[in-house]
Amino acid sequence: MVRVILNKIDNLNDQLEIKINLIDSPTAKKWKTLLIKSLEQNVPIKKHVSMHGWIMDQSRTLKHIVDEVHYRVDQINNYNFAKRAWELKRKTITKDFNIDLDLSIDKLIENKTFNFDLVNELHDKFVQLEGAKTLDNLVSVSPYFDLATSDIRWHISKINNLAHELFHWGEEYARWNRLGYYNPEMHVHYYNSEHKVEYSEEDNQTFTRRWNHGQVHIGDTTVGKTYWDAFNDRDDHIHNDELEVPKFMTADFHMYFGNTTSQEEDRDYLNQFNKWCYDRKLDDSVKQRIGKPVIGHIDCKASFGTLIQEQINNICNGYNNIHAIIVDNKKSTYEWTIRNEEIDIEQHA
């Protein structure tokens, strides 16, 4: 069993424990080994990417996210990249970089319709600032990122995180208005990517397009996006050469608190994905490992005392800080919160 201890940022003593039962599969066993290694070495987690789509959480509203976007954009726009290049006698930059997007709530939401194109444009700005990467080239960075100080690099990285957070918020806002329910998630991502194992044929069968309430799947650390994620994000701005098939499993994992999909929905979604691939002139080689590799399920009755999705989401609202993770007799505690950025800045130095 894996146990995840949550607490509230404004009341760290108020805790909630989530119990996860693992599937008996080779993939789950390999993933558990990677997770234990990360716990033993006290590898820090990325707390700023933990919560996605919790639209009812009043401690992290759309205004909170948008205000932070404005702060990060201002920090980047006020940094003089050209002057820094001149000081270092570099000729790689001759003009400054400016993120010129109207990222107001009024522009993001018009007539209850969320502007996903605007969010994808924001993500494109991040790619331009940091530099496009592939699995074959993870070290290349843009001239802007190369010149940036550690704190500016952190602001650039946050643009990526906030774009994903905005997309998830908008996706669930639209779902709530359309269907009356929403599908939030909790993500655990580690800074250290050294602990990884390449997927093999025996792992392919764990990938599923089906969404089941309470399912736990391995997080994807692909730089850029997988084909499946770009399709789900309706990202028409990303280029084909920035997309990848999932290649490595790590200790990262996601907990899904949303609705269970039907077989008909899964079939329709696959047909839409196939059309998306056809329109992009992609061949069948990109259709490997489509979906998510499931390795466990939350024991909702033991964790929350109920199996009802709406009640579970109401219970979890506000518990938006991952305090500790326990596997068997291994435990790692993460004492800081999203408001303490020293560890993040250090990782981006």
Average pLDDT, the chain: 89
**Residue 310: is its pLDDT beyond 70?**
yes
Provide mean pLDDT across the span 222-239. 78
Where among 182, 199, 230 does a domain terminate? 182
Does a structural domain hold residue 331? Answer: yes
DSSP label at 345? H
124-137: per-residue pLDDT in tens?
Answer: 999 888 876 544 44
* One domain for residues 49 and 60: no
Output the pLDDT for position 76. 93
* One domain for residues 327 and 190: yes
Closest CA to 101 of 73, 127, 79: 73
Output the pLDDT for position 349. 53
* One domain for residues 198 and 149: no
* One domain for residues 216 and 107: no
Q: At what angle do helices 116-130 and 150-179 cross, to 10 degrees?
A: 160
**Residue 271: is its pLDDT beyond 50?**
yes
Count of structural domains, the chain: 2
Provide mean pLDDT across the span 80-86. 85
- Structural domain of 99: 56-182
* One domain for residues 113 and 198: no
42 or 226, higher pLDDT: 42
Provide mean pLDDT across the span 208-231. 84
pLDDT confidence bin for 224, thresholds 50/70/90: low
pLDDT confidence bin for 284, thresholds 50/70/90: confident
**Which of these ranges, 132-136, 217-221, 289-293, has the smallest mean pLDDT?**
132-136
Where among 157, 182, 207 does a domain terminate? 182
β-bridge partners, 11: 8
* One domain for residues 187 and 312: yes
Does a structural domain hold residue 20? Answer: yes
* One domain for residues 40 and 175: no
Amino acid of residue 3: R
**Which of these ranges, 72-81, 107-116, 333-342, has the smallest mean pLDDT?**
333-342
Output the pLDDT for position 131. 78
Which secondary structure element, helix H or strand E, spans residue 128, and what is its range? helix 116-130
Show Cβ contacts of residue 140 under 8 Å, excluding neighbours closer than 6 positions: 131, 132, 133
Residue 61 CB-density burial (10 A; 0-12 exposed, 13-18 middle, 19+ buried): middle
104-115: per-residue pLDDT in tens?
Answer: 999 999 988 999
Where among 153, 182, 211 does a domain terminate? 182
Please state the φ and ψ torsions of residue 197, each to the nearest 5 degrees: -135, 135
pLDDT confidence bin for 269, thresholds 50/70/90: confident
* One domain for residues 170 and 271: no
**Which of these ranges, 36-40, 237-241, 311-315, has the smallest mean pLDDT?**
237-241
Q: What is the pTM of this model?
A: 0.85
Identify the CATH number of the domain in which residue 260 sits. 2.40.100
Does a structural domain hold residue 349? Answer: no
Does a structural domain hold residue 153? Answer: yes
Give whole-number Cα distances, 23 to 185, 196, 213, 256, in Å. 19, 19, 15, 15
Show Cβ contacts of residue 260 under 8 Å, excluding neighbours closer than 6 positions: 210, 211, 212, 213
**Which of these ranges, 163-177, 247-261, 327-341, has the smallest mean pLDDT?**
327-341
